[in-house]
Structure 1
Amino acid sequence: MTDAEDVRAFWQELGLPGLIDLHVHFLPPRIEAAVWREFDSEGDLIGRPWPIRYRGTAEERRAFLGEAGVRRFPTLPYAHKPGVAGFLNDWSRDLAAKEPAVLRSATFYPEPEAAAYVPELVADGVRVFKAHLQVGAFHLDDPLLEPVWGTLAEAGTPIVVHAGSGPVGTPYTGSASTARVLARHPRLRLVVAHMGAPEWEEFLVLAERHDSVLLDTSMAFSDFFADGHGAYPEDLVPRLGDLQDRVVWGSDFPTIPFAYREQLDGLAALGLGDDWLRDVTWNNAVRLLDLESLGRSGG
């Protein structure tokens, strides 16, 4: 059985129409190559061997997702310095225009121009944003981002935020700046990448306190991540059951060092039941992104 067939078998057993993966990266070739070099060199932001499994061309990777039954996925660009967000956003716009499965994605950076270009992107149809505190080296509550949060909270446009200290912490990672932003913008639809690893409980508490906060599963329930950060704490798992409507499936494809299905099996191993799995891998993203045309799935 191929990797794609293995993934299809998982969601077919749950009676789902497919998967919606909220943590997928497609980047402009030059920037993608630079990111992959960082993984290959085990650089300062990686800190360990990390062999990327899905290294084909962008066309081959999109074909894999289609064959696996991933019905919708973003591109999740993330700006690492001032002045690059526009290039990333234009490239992501063009890809989404050509590929029906691609959710139009965008990013921003703490720069004066963000207060103007983020509202324009929202009005132009961006479905999801991405910010990466570890790579971008900024706090989520940087004063230059204050108008951005107001725009996104008002529009209800979700943002996937890598704020946890995995794989390597920096002075900018951790839950503190996220908590400060949410205190001022409690309606912000913020998706915590990687379940906030390794600050698992701190980000779980934020999701429990704020109905608009979701947790993205990417990497968190894999043996590979457990080797680096410890397994997700068993005593927190029942609380994930209580947040059944606010955990969403994400894989971090293609920069994963194992087969795509492994993380799906990790979710199933939590023992929270098939209804929980259906919501996490399909229904919650349908609701978050207003994808009702794809349909909800029940037991």
Structure 2
Amino acid sequence: MIWRELGLPGLADVHTHFLPPRMERRVWHHFESAGPLIGREWPIIYKSALPDRVETLRALGVRTFRALAYAHRPDMAADLNRWTLDFAAATPGCLASATFFPEPSAVAYTRAALDEGAQIFKLHLQVGGFDPRAAELDPVWGLLAEAGTPIVVHAGSGPVAAGFTGPGPIGDVLRRHPRLSIIVAHLGAPEYPQFFELAGRYERVRLDTTMAFTDFFEQMAPFPPGLRPTLRDLGLAGKVLLGSDFPNIPYPYGHQLESLARLDLGDDWLRAVLWRNAHDLFDSTPRG
């Protein structure tokens, strides 16, 4: 396996999903039926029982992962947080994750999740369909900026653009809260240059590689070859982290790793992206 060849202890994947069973079934149905937020056929090959999927990740060499969940309507996030935090507590290697939504209770349950040890949050601006600049979220952003807790944000307009995707809305949030620790999912596809610019401008803005460079994703959002030098520099600077979207992927997990390796950006870059950058980030993240 590539991580062994690089002398790494394993893989640190910042973008994996484990959801409450009923929600998970609905998500899978949406993917496999080419729902309106997907736009194309998207078969999922890792649809085994939840414990089996955890063991699959471990067998692949993934040593740390997340149960990223995200709310798409009010009065949902707090219950999701209860499930994901309990799952992490019972699952070695799973970092404690949480989410939030623009609603009056967001500050209270976000603070509660931090107090319980949440190490990472997840937002999906495309699926959630909300404006990250909403007034109810401003104190939440402030709280998370002060805590230094990373938030994985699907802010790019792929695979289907929505009202508040793209670099503009989340860029406005960063201008107001420049100390936020944001991890832009999917390298910001398809608005790669703009999100790379944000990563270069803000100290705590990073990107994850989720699905990027795979054959499947290159058909939808090809990466600009001219950005490869910047990708290399950002990776070596700690700003690019491995993500996969497991289990919601239509190809074997190893294809993500092969796709990164064939970029030919060097072994040091691969070591940083596959392990060191996430390990360094989360080893220094407050845990409540």
- What TM-score range do you get, normalising by the shorter chain? over 0.9
Q: Does 1:98 align with 2:64?
A: no
How far the C-alpha of 1:93 sits from its partner, in A, is 1.2
Which of 206, 219, 234 in structure 2 is aligned with 1:243? 234
- Length, aligned pairs only: 283
Q: Does 1:255 align with 2:248?
A: yes
Structure 2 distance, partners of 1:217, 1:29, is 26
Which of 24, 48, 62 in structure 2 is aligned with 1:56? 48
Structure 1 distance, partners of 2:151, 2:224, is 25
Structure 1 distance, partners of 2:51, 2:27, is 18
Partner of 1:92, secondary structure, is: helix
Which of 232, 257, 265 in structure 2 is aligned with 1:272? 265
Which of 77, 102, 105 in structure 2 is aligned with 1:85? 77
Structure 2 distance, partners of 1:141, 1:219, is 27
Partner of 1:177: 169
Give CA deviations for 1:37-79 in whole Å, capped at 9, x if unaligned.
1011101000100010111111111010111110010101100
Partner of 1:290: 283
Paired AA for residue 234 in structure 1:
P
Partner of 1:164: 156
Partner of 2:224: 233
Structure 2 distance, partners of 1:228, 1:240, is 19
Structure 2 distance, partners of 1:111, 1:215, is 27
Structure 1 distance, partners of 2:231, 2:134, is 30
Which of 29, 33, 38 in structure 2 is aligned with 1:37? 29
Partner of 2:210, secondary structure, is: coil
> What TM-score comes out, normalization by structure 1 length?
0.93
How far the C-alpha of 1:212 sits from its partner, in A, is 0.4
Structure 1 distance, partners of 2:20, 2:78, is 12
CA RMSD of aligned residues (A): 1.0
Query: Identity rate of aligned residues, in percent?
Result: 54
Partner of 1:26, secondary structure, is: coil
Paired AA for residue 277 in structure 2:
N
How far the C-alpha of 1:18 sits from its partner, in A, is 0.1
Kindly report structure 1 stretches of 4+ aligned residues shifted beyond 6 Å.
Answer: none
Gaps of 5+ in 2: none
